[in-house]
Amino acid sequence: MQDFTQALTTALQMIVTLDDGLTRIVGLSLRVSLTAVLAATLIGLPLGAAVAALRFPGRRGLSVLLNTLMGLPPVVVGLVVFLLLSRSGPFGVLGLLFTPTAMIVAQTVLIVPIVASLARQTVEDLLVEYDDLLRVTGAGPFHTLTTLLSEARWSLLTTVLAGFGRASAEVGAVMIVGGNIEHATRVMTTAIALETSKGDLPTALGLGMVLMTLSLLVNFAASLLREAAKR
């Protein structure tokens, strides 16, 4: 029990004093995960809606593939992106390994399937209502997708939040492609892993609490946004 009180004290201390190291780590975590979520949303939502609403060959296969990829282990994504970005890999000349960009790429790969799969389900359910209307008005593919995505936008917010949750919580991928370099690529989850390996369990748990608080704030903001827009 003492561990938890100590962790709570550490967490509060870090938040109240706005610990410089902590601000950097939190800032980078947010920057990496939010950018990844933005990229995954731009790719995943249209992709999911297309699989749900458009008829094209290989559609069912793509849908199964996306569902399967939701279970991608972050370590595997990390490893693949690492091999691609390594100086000895095909994209080595870009020199992106151990940079925040590499971490954004890895997290985007990780969450595109989640965003796309959940969006496909949402849009598919909505299609039952809109199918006739869209057919009658003779809407083209682009118009169909924009209408459906626009109508489903508040349900899709949850989809995007699921993506954010996965991105901000994973450690395997960013550890490999970021390298957990202090002041450069250290984020919340890799910092927690590091403190655990130093045996400083209260600090590790304290950081975990800060991460959860951050996640709570993001979700709270999203829920406020939804409320405000519905009114």
Partner 1 sequence: MLRRSFISRAALGCAAAVALFGLGLGATARAEERFITVASTTSTEDSGLFKALLPTFTAKTGIAVRVVAKGTGQAIDLAKRGDADVLFVHHKPSEDKFVAEGFAAERKPVMYNDFVIVGPAKDPAGVKGSTDVADALGKIAAAKAPFVSRGDDSGTHKAELSLWKTANLDPAKAEGGWYKAIGQGMGPTLNTAAALEGYALADRGTWLNFKNRGGLAVLVEGDKRLFNQYGVMLVSPAKFPHVKAKDGQSFVDWLVSADGQKAIADYQIDGQSLFFPNANEPGV
CB closer to partner 1 out of 28 and 49: 28
Q: How far apart are CB 159 and partner 1 at their closest, in Å?
A: 14
Restricting to residues 111-140, name those near partner 1 by CB under 8 A.
none
The secondary element (H helix, E strand) that includes residue 174 is helix 172-178
d(CA 230, CA 64): 33
Q: Which two tokens stand for residue 199?
A: 């045996």
Query: Can residue 197 be called a binding residue for partner 1 (CB under 8 A)?
Result: yes
Q: Binder to partner 1 among 140, 150, 230, 231 (CB under 8 A)?
A: 150
Query: Can residue 226 be called a binding residue for partner 1 (CB under 8 A)?
Result: no
Helix 141-151 to helix 20-53 angle, to the nearest 10 degrees? Answer: 130
Q: Name the one range near partner 1 by CB under 8 A: 47-55, 108-116, 120-128, 181-189.
A: 181-189
CB closer to partner 1 out of 64 and 198: 198
37 residue type, one letter: V
C-beta of residue 81 within 8 angstroms of C-beta of residue 106: yes
CB closer to partner 1 out of 135 and 154: 154
d(CA 148, CA 178): 37
Restricting to residues 13-42, name those near partner 1 by CB under 8 A.
27-28, 30-31, 34-35, 38
Q: Name the one range near partner 1 by CB under 8 A: 59-67, 73-81, 121-129, 174-182.
A: 174-182
Query: Can residue 229 be called a binding residue for partner 1 (CB under 8 A)?
Result: yes
Handedness of CA 183, 185, 188, 193 (dihedral sign): negative
Binding mask 68-107 for partner 1 (x = CB under 8 A): ------------------xxxx--x--x-xx-x-------
- End-to-end C-alpha distance for the chain, whole angstroms: 45
Q: Name the one range near partner 1 by CB under 8 A: 51-59, 67-75, 116-124, 180-188.
A: 180-188
Q: Binder to partner 1 among 117, 144, 180, 189 (CB under 8 A)?
A: 180
C-beta of residue 67 within 8 angstroms of C-beta of residue 121: no
d(CA 179, CA 99): 8
Query: Can residue 146 be called a binding residue for partner 1 (CB under 8 A)?
Result: yes
Burial 14-36 (b: 16+ CB within 10 A, else e): beeeeeeebebbbebbbebbbbb
Residue 86 per-residue DSSP state: S
For partner 1, the binding residues (CB under 8 A) are 27-28, 30-31, 34-35, 38, 86-89, 92, 95, 97-98, 100, 146, 150, 153, 179-184, 196-201, 229
